[in-house]
Structure 1
Amino acid sequence: MSVKNILVIGLGGVGLHLTQRLVHDGYGVTVIESSPQLISSVNDKIDAKIIEGNAMELACWQRAKAETMDLLIAVTNEDSVNMIASIIADRLGIPRKVARVRSPEYGYENSFLNKNDFKIDLVIHPEELVAQEMARLVMRASANDVVDIGEGQMKVVAMRVNPDSPIVNKTLKEIDLLHNDFRFKIVAVARGIATIIPGEDDTILPNDQVFIMLHEKNLPQLMNLMDMREQSIHKVMIVGGGMVGARVAELLGKTVKITLIENDKEHAEELASTLKNTDVLLGDGTDVNVMVLGGLMEMDSFIATTGNNETNIISCLLAKHIMNRSNVDANAKVGKTIALVKKEDYLVLASTIGLDVALNKKISAADEIMKFIRMGELFSLAHLHGVDAEVIELAAAPKSQITKKPLKKMRSMLQEKQILIAGVVRNGGCELTDEHTVIEPNDLAVVVSATKSLKDARELFK
């Protein structure tokens, strides 16, 4: 089902971030928000119709012209408001409903009252989403991240470029010529605060974070080329025992030994009695002595999930230094650091100063909602952590612009829009493109696009 008009309830962190993305992508967005102060602070940031009022009052829904909406997204901080809003939306004929529900007692498959009782199509729990993502990233021990593309046939691998890397200070064209025993394609680069969708003349520099797309069968060869070693995960340290930290410990504790540092005595005691396979330490997560006494030098990964941005970033930097300072042996492991960061601006900062991965709850929630919205329009969607870029799969319409000439003749236009046609799915297989590739009508293409260019990418295939 195609979505054009969207009603958002709540302009808090998730609501504002999501509304900005929806407006940018060309959706018609109407927002109901009860706080005049919040409305005043964001009025110049979003080009959406904003209605001041209580979402529990039907008059607000009438002013929002709810009967014309294709989708409701209820993301206030109150579970009860979001769940009731979904019921109201259903009564008013809005066909699809998304609601933020944090309490496990309501809205979920096994809850006393599940999502069907509240007419919810997608339940969003930002803390659960980011905890699941952290656990996934820890278990992907060899690289910063690995994203499955084309039903798993292709992978996008994220890694930091060291000064002695075989691809450093070389253009993409030179890399293709030098390393042609198996095919891979660098599809995105994070450099400082910039996201680059590279062309063949772009040069890879030390400390770049690169995103490399290749066939699954060639992953061992890439790891060998980049001197990446498979690392088994045995020990993980977590700082912060809040909702995210405790859930990560619960998820990883099934297979990994966890050390969790919590600075609140009462909460630390509670965690110690409920979390399995977890040693809970009382202390400050930015205190080097506490970290070292907790066994940091033996850890495979370090995760900071406190409610303070600075604490999370500083503790990860300390951990990175301590974990890697002991790894002077060329064959030793290199610990991975993951930080929970509330401010989007800090995500770029965290990556720039050396953290492996920084995650944000509202971005994780918005990504999940955007994926749900686009299910009818895209075959799949994956966000690349650390850059403002997405990997999408698009089907080429018979008379679309993308089908009219080889990719080399579209190179300058695609680069200008920060779009890369990276692969094509044909005859049940997925292959990387080159400059001679012609996208045929009805082909399914794997496209890497700057987030801001998603709309342009979709237009090329219509």
Structure 2
Amino acid sequence: MKTVIIGAGNAGKNLVGKLCEMGHDVVVIDKDAGVLDELAQHHDVMTLVGHGADPTILENDIIGNIDLLAAVTNNDEVNFLACCWAKTAGAGHTIARLSDTKFLHSSLVDTEKLGVDRPMVHKGECAKEIFDVLYMPGTLEVTSLLDGKIAAIGLKLPDNTPLIGKSLKEFRADKWFGKVRFIGLVKQGKLTIPDGDSCPEPGDEIYIVLPAGETHQFLDWIRGGRRKAFKKVVIAGGGELGLQLAGLLEETSMETVLIDRHRGRAEDVSQTLKKCLVINADAAEATTLIELGIGSDTAFAAVTGDDEMNIVCCIQAKQLGADFTMARIDRSEYVPILDNLKLVDRVVSPNISLGKAILQYVRGEIVEGVGLFHHIIGEIQEVVIKAGSRRVGATISELKLPPNSIVAAVQRGEQAFVPTGDFMLNQGDRLAIYCLPETAEKINSAF
């Protein structure tokens, strides 16, 4: 597949890495020759120096026929124009990264007519991911699947969890058997898809899929009691991500404070938000956080566009007693370092949303959605049973999925649930299948 990426920033670099791993023919266009040279040293890609909004750049002989174009620069207008020119040139599918929702809310903008098949307001999805974790204290991450009817939750097991001291097959006697599916177990840094003989231990990270409406009850059970909700959330950064996160938090009982060091931006945000307290100050200064009274009932989310600033702010907040810290990190190479050093409790990247959009397209027409995690590798593919599929009438156990993959949940109509092996598939059913990287491209063959 010929893929053209416009923009070699952090978002573009992350996409290049993923697509090259999959063996795609990738061309990257950016106006910074130095950035392109560095990218070419680490990946097998072709590069072109040029402006993403210049239509003549797509006429270069090395580009040829375009199957997929992803415009992921920091400029929404450039991304729109790049998709427009690509569609005119016959590109099969186009994706535009957007930082501002105004283009989607205006009656004057028809993204499809402008050549954009998939507009991605990636910070909106990122804000929802952060909100879900804050709303469910004690979770590492929360991902929505199958139209929001199913949740995939990651958490670190506490000492008093009922899972300790038994294998997962012994879990069948519990009331939750049949409602949940264990899809990932991380022991001493190694990820596996657990089976009945797996024995979770305190400190292990476990990933579970279950109906979204039962997440709070299940979390209370698996943690051996209810986790106290955060009373206050402090947000550092009043950009689009911070603004959308604050808007979501305003709908809860949690006190919300947003800090931005740019006076003009702070004033704009304060006029948009209704209940959130907006402060014009530097979140990296201890005096700012001390005055806010950060304590054991406080969660702190640093979501500025500066990775280093976000890390410093989180460390500062933790030292002052914050119970939980989250940092927006755009540079993927920082993530394993932060995880190993435990400098922040949770790392989140807006670029994950872009990765989902790309993978949904390249995985094939039967894949209607892709879920990605921040803390573990692998993906969840949402596969639809289409008319004429050889799997209509087959049971889950007859699918013969490749190794290192598991059916996590099924959606039939408006209902979504964890299926048993004898569940028979119908046309239109959607399956959520978790798979490790080495298996991801083989799922299609099972259908």
1:378 to 367, 372, 377: 367
Is structure 2 residue 158 aligned with structure 1 residue 172? Answer: no
Q: Taking structure 1 as reference, are residues 58 and 348 closer, same or farther at Cα in structure 2, changes over 3 Å only?
A: same
CA distance in 2 between counterparts of 1:129 and 1:150 reads: 15
Change (3 A) 1:350 1:389: same
Residue matched to 1:248: 245
CA contact (8 A) 2:40 2:46 kept: no
For residues 133-162 of structure 1, the C-alpha deviation after alignment (integer angstroms, 9 at most, x for no partner) is: 323443445744444444555432322211
C-alpha deviations, 1:156-181, integer Å up to 9, x for none?
2322211222223644334x256366
CA contact (8 A) 2:307 2:330 kept: yes
- Is 1:23 equivalent to 2:23 in the alignment? no
- Return the TM-score normalized by structure 1: 0.78
* Counterpart-to-counterpart distance in 2, 1:120 and 1:440: 34
Provide the residue aligned with 1:448 in structure 2: 434
Number of equivalenced pairs: 437
Distance change in 2, residues 1:180/1:288 (3 Å): same
Distance 1:320 1:9, change over 3 A: same
Q: Do 1:261 and 1:284's aligned partners in 2 also have CA atoms closer than 8 Å?
A: yes
2:446 is the counterpart of 1:457: no
Equivalent residue, structure 2, for 1:135: 131
Taking the aligned partners of 2:213 and 2:350, their CA distance within structure 1 comes to 33
| More divergent stretch after superposition (229-238 vs 207-216) | 229-238
Identify if the C-alpha distance between structure 1 residues 302 and 169 changes in structure 2 by more than 3 Å, giving closer, same or farther: farther
Q: 1:76 aligns with which of 65, 73, 81?
A: 73
**Which amino acid is the alignment partner of residue 58 of structure 1?**
T
Q: CA deviation at 1:194?
A: 4.2
Counterpart check, 1:119 vs 2:115 = yes
**Overall identity of the aligned pairs, in %:** 22
Indicate whether 1:35 and 2:21 are aligned: no
Separation in 1, partners of 2:396, 2:262: 63
Write out aligned runs for 1:299-318 (5 A).
299-316=297-314
Alignment partners' CA distance in 2, 1:151 and 1:168: 32
Gaps of 5+ in 2: none
Deviates more, 1:273-282 or 1:384-393: 273-282
CA contact (8 A) 1:162 1:168 kept: no
Cα gap change, 1:169/1:16 in structure 2, threshold over 3 Å: closer, same or farther?
farther
Aligned to 1:262: 260
Distance 1:286-1:410 versus aligned 2 partners, 3 A rule: same
1:92 aligns with 2:96: no
TM-score (norm 2): 0.80
Stretch of structure 1 that moved more, 444-453 or 224-233: 224-233
Whole-angstrom CA distance in 1 between matches of 2:250 and 2:214: 31
* 2:56 paired residue number: 58
Q: Where does residue 328 of structure 1 map in the other structure?
A: none
Give the CA deviation at 1:392.
1.9
CA distance in 1, matches of 2:414, 2:244: 38
Q: Secondary structure at the match of 1:43?
A: helix
1:309 partner letter:
D
CA distance 1:345–1:199, shift in 2 (3 Å): farther
Structure 2: distance between partners of 1:96 and 1:169: 51
Structure 1 window deviating more from structure 2 (218-227 vs 386-395): it is 218-227
The offset of 1:23, in angstroms, is 3.3
Of 345, 352, 362 in structure 2, the residue corresponding to residue 363 of structure 1 is 352
CA shift, 1:448, in A, is 1.0
Preserved CA contact (<8 Å) 1:51 1:64: no
- Return the letter of the residue paired with 1:419: S
**Contiguous gaps of at least 5 residues in structure 1:** 325-334
Please name the residue that 2:157 is paired with: 161
How many Å separate the matches in 2 of 1:149 and 1:386? Answer: 17
Matching residue's letter, 2:359: M
Alpha-carbon distance change, 181 to 121 in structure 1, aligned in 2, over 3 angstroms? closer
Counterpart-to-counterpart distance in 2, 1:425 and 1:293:
48
Match of 1:198 in 2: 194
Secondary structure of the residue that 1:296 maps to in structure 2?
A: coil
Whether the aligned pair in 2 keeps the contact of 1:235 and 1:298 (CA below 8 Å) is: no
SS at the partner of 1:108?
A: helix
Q: In 2 relative to 1, CA 51–170 (structure 1 residues): closer, same or farther, beyond 3 Å?
A: farther
- The separation in 2 between residues aligned to 1:25 and 1:441, in whole angstroms, is 31
The reply on whether 1:235 has 2:232 as its aligned counterpart is yes
- Verify the 8 A CA contact 2:129 2:142 in the aligned structure 1: no
Describe the superposition over 1:391-441 as per-residue Cα deviations: whole angstroms up to 9, x where unpaired.
2233579668xx79958x979x62xxx32233456798655456x658879
Q: 2:209 is aligned with what amino acid?
A: M
Using the alignment, how far apart are the partners of 2:240 and 2:137 within structure 1?
Answer: 24
Match for residue 108 of structure 1 among 90, 95, 104? 104
Q: Is the 8 A contact 1:398 1:441 kept in 2?
A: no
CA distance in 2, matches of 1:123, 1:362: 14
Residue 293 (structure 2) aligns with: 295
Cα separation, partners in 2 of 1:274 and 1:54, compared to 1, 3 Å:
closer
- C-alpha RMSD of the superposition: 3.9
Cα distance, 1:444 vs. partner? Answer: 5.0
Matched, 1:394 2:383: yes
SS of 2:34's equivalent in the other structure is: helix
